[in-house]
Amino acid sequence: MITLTEIMRQKDDVAFAEMLNRIRVKEKDEELSESDRELLTQAITKPELCSTDVLHIFPTNKLVEDHNSATLSRLFSDIITIDADDFQKDSRSERMTRQDKPSKGGRNDLPDTLKLAEGARVMLTRNIDIQKGLVNGAFGTLMKVITSETDQRITKLGLRMDSQTAGRRSGPAGSDDLVYVERAEDTVKQKGVQGDFSQRTLSVGLG
Task: Give me the amino acid identity at 182.
Answer: E
Q: How confident is the model at residue 188 (pLDDT cuts 50, 70, 90)?
A: low
Separation between Cα atoms, residue 163 and residue 168, nearest integer Å: 10
Separation between Cα atoms, residue 123 and residue 59, nearest integer Å: 18
Does residue 174 have a pLDDT over 60? Answer: no
pLDDT at 201: 34
Q: pLDDT of 105-164, one tens digit each?
A: 666 666 778 889 999 999 888 888 888 888 888 999 999 998 888 887 888 899 999 988
Q: By three-state DSSP, how is residue 123 classified?
A: strand
